[in-house]
Structure 1
Amino acid sequence: MKSSEKPTSAQGGDTEVTVELSGCEAEDAHAVFGALRTVFASDRAPDDRPEEVAGARPTVWSSTFDVSEVREKAAPTRLTRPVTADVQGGYRAVAKLQEELGGAFAVEVLGTAAGDQEQEAQLRLDTLRA
């Protein structure tokens, strides 16, 4: 690739990752999104707190993060219980998000699905143990 060319998604240059959280408390969703907003620019405002929605269907919280620049490292963050995060984006972008999550949480990859230009990963996040 020439230095003047921008990488395409197929080359792993995509910088946006969508993160979806479900099956967790609003407090834990806020903790995960707050840690990610510390590190990366987001489509959500810092004071945007996840709220529970009444009804029979599960609540899904979603946010998109631009992983092209690390603003600062995330500090270890406490969760009330493990959280499952479904993430989707370019290969390098997903890897970068996963790497930075490791500063705030214990991260376990539960599964991945690969496409031509994007990767989906399911991550289990838990409080880091000393």
Structure 2
Amino acid sequence: MSSTEVTVVVSDCAEEDARAVFATLDAAFTAEKTTRPRSGGGATVWASAYDVSAPTEATPAAVAPLAHQVSVEAQGGYRAVDRVVAVLDSAFVIDTVGTAAGDQEKDIHLRIHGRAGV
């Protein structure tokens, strides 16, 4: 993984909420790889890898409201993860649940929900 790539995993939510989170990130960054959920007996997760080296000029517009809280995990280089968190923070209320830091990468676990009135 390069220092400008971030893997984002969304879980503990309905598909519509996952789509709202990814639509926000898609407006700001180029998605390199997206994994669609598979049906089965376990939990459903959605994942996408973003290159944050050249953010788009678009600012996340009105975002579809989230029906419930969503778990988001972002892993990548320090600055790259910070960029992803900043975009999510511009559209949603975020609570940091935990972080793990390595030599050149960090992993952050967030709970996000919609802003009041959105």
Residues 1:120 and 2:107 are matched in the alignment = yes
- Mapping of 1:2-21 within 5 angstroms? 14-21=3-10
Following TM superposition, by how much is the alpha carbon of 1:44 offset from its aligned partner in structure 2, in angstroms?
A: 4.8
Q: How far apart in 1 are the matches of 2:39 and 2:107?
A: 28
TM-score (norm 1): 0.79
2: CA distance between counterparts of 1:24 and 1:43?
23
**Greater CA drift, 107-116 or 54-63:** 54-63
Q: How does 1:94-105 map to 2 (within 5 A)?
A: 94-105=81-92
Report the equivalent of 2:44: 59
Provide the TM-score with structure 2 as the length reference: 0.87
Q: Deviations over 1:39-91 (max 9, x none)?
A: 1111258xx9x55x432211111001111122111124211111010110000
Deviation at 1:109, TM superposition (A): 1.0
Q: Partner letter of residue 54 of structure 2?
A: E
The answer to whether the 8 A contact 1:84-1:122 is kept is yes
Task: State the partner residue of 2:20.
Answer: 31
Runs of 4+ more than 4 Å apart:
none
Gap runs ≥5 in structure 2 = none
- Residue matched to 1:87: 74
Q: Secondary structure at the match of 1:93?
A: helix
Contact 2:8 2:75 in 1 (8 A): yes
Higher Rg: 1
User: Partners of 2:71 and 2:62 in 1: how far apart?
Assistant: 17
Give deviations 1:97-121, integer Å, cap 9, x for gaps. 1011111111111110001111000
More strand by share: 2
